[in-house]
Amino acid sequence: MKIICQKSDLLNSVNIVLKAVPAKSTMPILECLIIKASSSEIKLIANDMEIGIETRVKGNMIEEGMVALNAKVFSEIIRRLPENEVNITTDDNYVTEIVCEKAKFSIVGRSGEEFPALPEIEKENPLVLSQFTLKEIIRQTVFSISDNESNKIMTGELFDIKKNELRVISLDGHRISIRKIFMKEDYEERKVIIPGKTLNEISKILSGEASSLINIYFTEKHALFEFDETVVVTRLIEGEYYRIDQMLSSDYETKVNINKKELLSCIERASLLIRETDKKPIIIKIGEKNFELSINTAIGSMKEEIDIELEGKDITIGFNPKFLLDALRVIDDESVDLYLINPKAPCFIRDKDQSYIYLILPVNIQA
């Protein structure tokens, strides 16, 4: 195999596929990336058996071939090469020579045939979104997936498609995040659970351009994301998602409209007094068109008031400040509506059209 690429193009493609290379694996071949030169195109491929990524590299294919190279070693070499043309040549024993200006490396590779191929997926009836839309949806929901692997369902996000409506839902047992968008055409009804890890990595690769599209294909066990020069394949999480609609309520005893930026800044200030090991809630006292936020920890105490528009009853309620911060940081509206029932019932943050809903469970402040 022999290829010639610009260092910047090669490094960009390497950084994309690295997202599917495990740090450590019982199968050493998975710690490699594949360089495949064929039919006048060059591809890089990585696969950790949960997520697989294939991307095209700009460059010239001089001689066809395929080699598996340790991804960490190869990426560090490319990263440190001069900004110039890179020549990569592999011999019959998979020894690979990397030359750029006066720098010359020789590393031992392996046969690419040992590497597990990405699943073959029929590309029919794609769900089509703009890269901007998908990137925003992920940003606004992925923070509330669970990192507890013992409950696999909670480590993924539900993509619930009904005609021209897409709802994306995540939850971790303490909160629920929902984003709803309307699409340009109707699609077949479908519910799939996509691993949060995959969505996180895709979000990092997406350009986020409103004019650039992404096609998403589904099978029973996989989802394939196709955009720009890249294909990402992931296993779906099997099982039935939670019945979220039963947890959502439009009832409320108290409705607060509050400036989002003021509330966010206030909670951030209060969080300065919380150690990582602390589980101290912030206390919110609502009454007389007055919103008082207070916290009392081993470090100190803080109290602050914010002007609000109030509808309904007075209430005193406690929350984990991190959960409120996570939701507020991804809402782009100038003001937000908080809906409350009582100190033990969930708080809902939602807009009029319910294009976003954040449900947050309160903390018992009597204890």
With a cut of 80, say whether residue 271 has pLDDT above it.
Answer: yes
Say how far apart CA 134 and CA 141 lie, in whole Å.
Answer: 11
Q: What is the mean pLDDT of residues 156-178?
A: 97
Given CATH 3.10.150.10, say whether it is the number of domain 249-360: yes
Local confidence band at 24 (pLDDT 50, 70, 90 cut-offs): confident
With a cut of 80, say whether residue 366 has pLDDT above it.
Answer: no
Q: What is the mean pLDDT of residues 63-87?
A: 97
Dihedral angle, C-alpha 309, 312, 316, 320, nearest 10 °: -70
With a cut of 80, say whether residue 276 has pLDDT above it.
Answer: no
What per-residue confidence (pLDDT) applies to 39? 85
**Do residues 204 and 196 make contact, with C-beta atoms less than 8 angstroms apart?**
no
Say how far apart CA 276 and CA 19 lie, in whole Å.
Answer: 29
Query: Cα–Cα distances in Å, from 203 out to 137, 167, 200, 303, 341?
Result: 9, 17, 5, 37, 35
Q: What is the mean pLDDT of residues 53-77?
A: 97
- Is 249-360 in the same CATH topology as 127-246? yes
Q: What is the mean pLDDT of residues 141-145?
A: 97
Local confidence band at 165 (pLDDT 50, 70, 90 cut-offs): very high
Number of Cβ within 10 Å of residue 7's Cβ equals 18
Containing H/E element for 68? strand 65-70
Q: Any idea what DSSP says for residue 363? A: B
Residue 153 token pair: 């369902």
Among candidates 210, 230, 150, 141, which has minimal Cα distance to 178?
141
Helix axes 131-139, 196-205, angle to 10 degrees: 130
With a cut of 50, say whether residue 201 has pLDDT above it.
Answer: yes
Q: Which CATH class is domain 127-246?
A: alpha beta
With a cut of 60, say whether residue 367 has pLDDT above it.
Answer: no
Domain locations in the chain as residue ranges: 2-114, 127-246, 249-360
Q: Which CATH class is domain 2-114?
A: alpha beta
Helix axes 71-80, 7-17, angle to 10 degrees: 150
**Do residues 89 and 100 make contact, with C-beta atoms less than 8 angstroms apart?**
no
Contacts of 93 (CB under 8 A, 6+ apart): none
SS3 (DSSP) at 14: helix
Helix axes 260-271, 321-330, angle to 10 degrees: 140
Say how far apart CA 189 and CA 42 lie, in whole Å.
Answer: 37
pTM of the model: 0.93
Residue 345: exposed, middle, or buried by beta-carbon count in 10 A (0-12, 13-18, 19+)?
Answer: middle
Say how far apart CA 367 and CA 161 lie, in whole Å.
Answer: 42
What per-residue confidence (pLDDT) applies to 275? 85
What per-residue confidence (pLDDT) applies to 83? 96
Residue 362 token pair: 């309160």
Q: What is the mean pLDDT of residues 293-322?
A: 95
What per-residue confidence (pLDDT) applies to 269? 96
